Amino acid sequence: MLIAQSGGPTMVINQSLIGAVLEAKKHKEITKIYGSLHGIKGVLEENMIDLGRETAQTLEAVAQTPSSGLGSVRKKPTPEDCAKIFAILQKYNIRYFFYIGGNDSAETTHIINEEAKKANYELRCFHIPKTIDNDLRENDHTPGFASGARFVAMSFMGDNLDNRALPGVKINVIMGRHAGFLTAAAALARVYPDDGPHLIYVPERPFHIEQFAADVKEVYAKYKRCVVAVSEGISDADGTPIAAAYTKEVDSHGNVQLSGTGALGDLLANIVKQKTEISRVRADTFGYLQRSFPAIASTADSKEAREVGRLAVKFSTSSDVDGSVAIKRKPGKKYKVYFERTELKNVAKETRHMPDEFINKAGNDVTKAFIAYAKPIVGDLPKIGRFKGYPVKKK
């Protein structure tokens, strides 16, 4: 078997990898467990390591470590690449191929699988879900999201207290090009009625600069401070990213660079300064920390990430099937999930967005339905103490 990791790292992507490796060790028909370095790049360059030789201790240590232990890649393979990848898999007699990633990785897995079918070569192909964006179809939520959400919520807990101590307007830019789930998770930071984030903007709703400034003014008038959560991908009514005006860099998928720059936050801070009388306006961009911060991963997320890795191997060894492992939630008050095999094409290509019931009417906050959805997967958050604050009578 060959396994690889792709796309943006998460805090729990190695759980999926190790879940798969440990399950593979139980199956005699899998004689070698290879890991490709930097996703399909490692396949194309025949740059692979033998994961079967790693000790149990190393495997467990890597499982607990954030970011992609095998390295990652943002490469979208060409049809020629896919043909070449398939030829290399054949050369090494690879019969099981596992690719941990988002919708693009599912698509890559799908294409490689089609190549194998055309050639009548038995190759069981499984995609293992991973994305902090939480935008894979078929899934209630995706491994990596809840831990990223946990970082975002914890950050807002602290930052809200910071803003309460030194009042002003604070804008925090969160990852999420098309899906606002991660930004929405900022709402979990609220403990007291006046806690921020007071405003939340996601890419699922058009962003109007004038309305944004008016919203900030309104909150500021009420609380003398305002904490804002904004997705990096917010766009105007025409679908042009607000950040696009400030950056020309595009990634290998032809998308505008949104992460790894403070431009959008600074732009929004300047808008508030220009359109209001508020002087203390600050912006932070959470950047890559939200996907790779160590030691704070969600417990549910870690477990589920391991389970989807384990099940991909389990499904693939049970019969000649391909697919992806999807996380489903059982109805009912208590949080419970189950896992299902789904077809590769069901998670490839198109992604999903936040459902309407998760976004408020004004498009500047989330609903209780979102909180109910996100809370159990993110897990318990730190306790926040606050003085009752009995006023001293003025003399």
Alpha carbon separation from 275 to 132, 173, 215, 217 (Å, rounded): 33, 20, 11, 9
- CB-wise, 252 or 319, nearer to a second copy? 252
Phi, psi at residue 275, to the nearest 5°? -100, 0
Task: Report, in Å, the least distance between residue 265 CB and a second copy.
Answer: 6
Which two three-digit tokens encode residue 197?
A: 């984030």
Strand runs (DSSP E) across 37-151, as ranges? Answer: 48-50, 96-101, 124-129
Task: Report, in Å, the least distance between residue 190 CB and a second copy.
Answer: 14
Span from 67-75, 133-141, 194-202, 203-211 in contact with a second copy (CB under 8 A): 67-75
Task: Rule CB under 8 A: choose which of 34, 201, 220, 370 binds a second copy.
Answer: 34
Is the bond into 77 cis (omega within 30 degrees of 0)?
no
Task: Report, in Å, the least distance between residue 340 CB and a second copy.
Answer: 29
Task: Return d(Cα 95, Cα 238) in angstroms, integer.
Answer: 46
Q: In a 3-state reduction of DSSP, which class is residue 211?
A: helix
- CB-wise, 165 or 237, nearer to a second copy? 165
Task: Rule CB under 8 A: choose which of 3, 12, 22, 70 binds a second copy.
Answer: 70
Task: Return d(Cα 125, Cα 147) in angstroms, integer.
Answer: 27
Task: Return d(Cα 206, Cα 239) in angstroms, integer.
Answer: 7
- CB-wise, 117 or 224, nearer to a second copy? 224
Q: Which of residues 172-231 bind a second copy (CB under 8 A)?
A: none
Task: Return d(Cα 38, Cα 75) in angstroms, integer.
Answer: 9
Q: Which of residues 3-32 bind a second copy (CB under 8 A)?
A: 5, 8-9, 11, 14
Amino acid at 203: P
Torsion (CA) 103, 106, 111, 112 in degrees, nearest 10: 150
Largest CA distance in the chain: 90
Residue 339: partners with Cβ closer than 8 Å, 6 or more residues away = 307, 308, 311, 325, 326, 327, 328
Task: Report, in Å, the least distance between residue 180 CB and a second copy.
Answer: 20
Q: Which of residues 275-294 bind a second copy (CB under 8 A)?
A: 281-289, 291-294
The 88-127 site mask, x for binding a second copy (CB under 8 A), equals ---xx-----------------------------------
Going by C-alpha positions, the residue among 101, 108, 139 that lies closest to residue 16 is 101
The 312-341 site mask, x for binding a second copy (CB under 8 A), equals ------------------------------
Span from 59-67, 116-124, 139-147, 175-183 in contact with a second copy (CB under 8 A): 59-67
CA geometry: angle 316, 98, 62, nearest 5 deg = 115
Q: Which of residues 128-167 bind a second copy (CB under 8 A)?
A: 154-155, 157-159, 161-162, 164-166
Note if 284 is an active site residue. Answer: no
Going by C-alpha positions, the residue among 105, 1, 112, 99 that lies closest to residue 51 is 1
Q: Which of residues 363-382 bind a second copy (CB under 8 A)?
A: 382
- CB-wise, 65 or 346, nearer to a second copy? 65
Task: Rule CB under 8 A: choose which of 79, 277, 361, 390 binds a second copy.
Answer: 390
Task: Return d(Cα 107, Cα 272) in angstroms, integer.
Answer: 41
- CB-wise, 147 or 316, nearer to a second copy? 147
The verdict on 73 binding a second copy (CB under 8 A) reads: yes
The verdict on 48 binding a second copy (CB under 8 A) reads: yes
Task: Report, in Å, the least distance between residue 345 CB and a second copy.
Answer: 27
Name the packing angle between helices 209-223 and 263-275 (round to 10°).
Answer: 70
**Cβ atoms < 10 Å from Cβ of 175:** 23
Q: What is the DSSP letter of 135?
A: -
Q: In a 3-state reduction of DSSP, which class is residue 359?
A: strand
State the catalytic residue, choosing from 50, 81, 104, 133: 133
Task: Report, in Å, the least distance between residue 223 CB and a second copy.
Answer: 13
Number of residues that bind a second copy (CB under 8 A): 81
Task: Report, in Å, the least distance between residue 247 CB and a second copy.
Answer: 9
Task: Report, in Å, the least distance between residue 75 CB and a second copy.
Answer: 11
The verdict on 54 binding a second copy (CB under 8 A) reads: yes
Catalytic residue annotation: 133
